[in-house]
Amino acid sequence: MMNGGDVVDNKAAVEGGVKDMYGEDSATLNQLATPWTISVSSGYSLLRDPRHNKGLAFTEKERDAHYLRGLLPPVVLSQELQEKRLMNTLRQYQVPLQRYMAMMDLQERNERLFYKLLVDNVEELLPVVYTPTVGEACQKYGSIFRRPQGLYISLKEKGKILEVLKNWPERSIQVIVVTDGERILGLGDLGCQGMGIPVGKLSLYTALGGVRPSACLPITLDVGTNNQKLLDDEFYIGLRQRRATGQEYSEFLHEFMSAVKQNYGEKVLIQFEDFANHNAFDLLAKYSTTHLVFNDDIQGTASVVLAGLIASLKLLGGTLADHTFLFLGAGEAGTGIAELIALEISKQTNASMEESRKKIWLVDSKGLIVSSRKESLQHFKQPWAHEHEPVKELVNAVKAIKPTILIGTSGVGKTFTKEVVKAMAVLNEKPLIMALSNPTSQAECTAEEAYTWTEGRAIFASGSPFDPVEYNGKLNVPGQANNAYIFPGFGLGVIISGAIRVHEDMLLAASEALAEQVTQENYDKGLIYPPFANIRKISAHIAAKVAAKAYELGLASRLPQPEDLVKCAESSMYSPTYRTYR
Ligand SMILES: NC(=O)C1=CN([C@@H]2O[C@H](COP(=O)(O)OP(=O)(O)OC[C@H]3O[C@@H](n4cnc5c(N)ncnc54)[C@H](OP(=O)(O)O)[C@@H]3O)[C@@H](O)[C@H]2O)C=CC1
Ligand SMILES: CC(=O)C(=O)O
Ligand SMILES: [Mg+2]
């Protein structure tokens, strides 16, 4: 019996009332209580454990064995019926953010059911848990905050990052997606509220790539924000200070990278996501020789766009080297894609990288990137400073360069104006237009604009989804050029091979694997990407090709190499179907 001092005497509760075993309820406000819990989920705690909870789908036998009698109404539902009921409820919400919140609540309540919904209804739910809705969710993250997801590591934890990692309940982590929130989609600096992005990306690792949820760790590094609106927002959830930069920033990042390696070992894949370009390129270069790192915005985007371009040759004709590429936006996505196209051209033609880059032109906020600007350009733009007179406006760059392919990676909406798109239509019978910026509000143009302004001749793909558009009696189906096609399968390939480093040839392998999945039926609709509905099959294919390349390059550590890598990828995938409990 507890007695004396601050310890609570429970005697009064023994006969009759609920026994306040650890004194939490009867502790006064100035007494300390201990957050006791038990380790094996059963009864009430089982219902509140999202990893094991099945809600009304617990069978009669499970209800008996796990002390659930009375805690649930009598009905027993199948997982399929639960799914049907939840999809019905979701469809009744008119506001996308409500659907997002309902999905996040489900993830926190019943993880397998969340993934079952996502896997079975991927085309319908991707825009909810991912772009565009996740963008709005990040903007309002403080206001809609309910339960924390992922791991928040702020400057307050400097010097203690390893301890913070140890607070995460899972030990065996395979993929980390980490952001510092400075360039969230095309929405800019959202500080700590960028957490929606790693959470969303990792839910796709599981749903689209089959990596088990317990092996996924979303992390936000809070180094402050320069977004004054957030700093003034009483509901902001992050540090209320301006961003750390320079040495303070790099020391913090270095402590984080070292702690991850120390805690999880060599083979955890660290995906950098939505860092601003002034940090992204340097971080990737600095850690790519010591860690298993992948920058989704630079490398994943490059791989998905190259896949679309390889596929588009079936519709456009010619080889990649026969085409001329013009980008609006010369940051992570733009220069990342440009570099991978040049690499593929150089491999196909045996030309040097320098020569291959000459087919590719980029425009940034100051105009066409040309040699006279070289001195003042950031290092990642310099290889693209070709000989040409300065051109300020995009439309004039289109007229001067005469691209066959126009790619938007500016993060600024409505920049492919009618004049620009029409100029592409004058130059090309089938202009290929990619408006990659996310979310939908930042798309360089809409699908409808692309088809209307080119009299239905455009081949169009965008970062965020658009509905099909009818033009002159023909239904045009826009493709979604989003790195979500690549990173889940790519990550799975890294995991099944035990790759210790990411090599650019693995990105090329992923592009080829994705392009191979486009069928004649897809081409007939003007599509250069396969539908997301088949994404698990696509991811297994990508994973197999990526893994095969890792083995070929001597980067794979899981030996011996499985004979059938597609089968190996498929059989490694997490299934969201409920398990039966003993
Ligand atoms: N579909 C997909 O899978 C992906 C889409 N994206 C999207 O791409 C966009 C850009 O991302 P990222 O490359 O990382 O961003 P960055 O900030 O690295 O690059 C943006 C680039 O756009 C240029 N730019 C900005 N405003 C204009 C303008 N008005 N006219 C011309 N150029 C302009 C910038 O010019 P300057 O250098 O002069 O400042 C910079 O070169 C985002 O919206 C993001 O959501 C990103 C990754 C994947
Ligand atoms: C898709 C993605 O990674 C982005 O827009 O940043
Ligand atoms: Mg991104």
**Residue whose CA lies nearest to ligand 1 atom number 17:** 331
Residue 37: the pLDDT is: 64
- What separation in Å is there between the alpha carbon of 296 and the centre of ligand 3? 6
Q: Is residue 481 within 6 Å of ligand 1 at its C-beta?
A: yes
**Residue whose CA lies nearest to ligand 1 atom number 16:** 331
Pocket test for ligand 1, best of 305, 396, 409, 414 (most atoms within 8 A of CB): 409
Q: Is residue 10 within 6 Å of ligand 2 at its C-beta?
A: no
Q: Which ligand is nearest to the CA of 204?
A: 2
- What separation in Å is there between the alpha carbon of 276 and the centre of ligand 1? 10
**Residue whose CA lies nearest to ligand 1 atom number 29:** 365
The whole-angstrom separation of Cα 161 and Cα 166 is 9
Query: DSSP for 333-354?
Result: HHHHHHHHHHHHHHHHH---HH
Nearest to 438 by CA among 416, 459, 410: 410
Contact 450, 500 (CB under 8 A): no
- Closest atom of ligand 2 to 439 CA is 5
- What separation in Å is there between the alpha carbon of 231 and the centre of ligand 3? 23
Question: Which residues hold their Cβ within 5 A of ligand 3, which is an ion?
Answer: 274, 297
Query: DSSP for 127-179?
Result: HHHSTTHHHHHHHTHHHH--S--SEEEEGGGTT-HHHHHHTSS-S---EEEEE
The whole-angstrom separation of Cα 107 and Cα 101 is 10
183 annotated among ligand-binding-site residues: yes
Q: Name the 3-class secondary structure at 27.
A: coil
Residue position matching structure tokens 């540090």: 239
Residue position matching structure tokens 């000459």: 358
Provide block-wise average pLDDT over 10 residues at a time, the chain (582 residues): 42 52 75 71 92 97 96 98 98 98 98 98 98 98 95 98 97 97 98 98 98 98 98 97 98 98 96 98 98 98 98 97 98 98 98 98 98 97 98 98 98 98 98 98 98 98 97 95 98 98 98 98 95 97 98 98 98 96 90
Q: Is residue 334 within 6 Å of ligand 1 at its C-beta?
A: yes
β-strand 360-364 against 367-368: which pairing, if any? antiparallel
3-state SS string for 20-34: CCCCCCCCCCCCCCC
**Active-site position among 130, 205, 236, 574:** 130
482 annotated among ligand-binding-site residues: yes
pTM (predicted TM-score): 0.95
**ipTM above 0.90 for this complex:** yes
Residue 279: the pLDDT is: 98
Nearest to 394 by CA among 425, 369, 372, 431: 369
3-state SS string for 210-255: CCCHHHEEEEEEECCCCCHHHHCCCCCCCCCCCCCCHHHHHHHHHH
- What separation in Å is there between the alpha carbon of 1 and the centre of ligand 2? 58
**Residue count (the chain):** 582
CA angle, 68 then 72 then 77, to 5°: 105
- What separation in Å is there between the alpha carbon of 275 and the centre of ligand 2? 10
The whole-angstrom separation of Cα 380 and Cα 341 is 15
Residue 28: the pLDDT is: 80
The whole-angstrom separation of Cα 11 and Cα 565 is 64
Q: Is residue 483 within 6 Å of ligand 2 at its C-beta?
A: yes
Contact 426, 384 (CB under 8 A): no
Q: Is 314 a catalytic residue?
A: no
- Closest atom of ligand 2 to 131 CA is 1
Q: Is residue 185 within 6 Å of ligand 2 at its C-beta?
A: yes
**Six token digits for residue 145:** 């905050």
What are the backbone dihedrals phi and psi of residue 108, each rounded to the nearest 5 degrees, phi first?
-80, -15
273 annotated among ligand-binding-site residues: yes
The whole-angstrom separation of Cα 292 and Cα 556 is 12
Packed helices 301-316 and 332-349: angle between N→C axes, nearest 10 degrees: 50
Residue 18: the pLDDT is: 61
Pocket test for ligand 2, best of 126, 185, 303, 332 (most atoms within 8 A of CB): 185
Residue 25: the pLDDT is: 74
Q: Is 551 a catalytic residue?
A: no
**Six token digits for residue 16:** 């009759």
**Active-site position among 116, 201, 545, 549:** 201
Q: Is residue 405 within 6 Å of ligand 1 at its C-beta?
A: no
Q: Is residue 222 within 6 Å of ligand 2 at its C-beta?
A: no
Residue 1: the pLDDT is: 35
Query: DSSP for 350-414?
Result: ---HHHHHTTEEEEETTEE-BGGGGGGS-TTTGGG-BS-----SHHHHHHHH--SEEEE-SS-TT
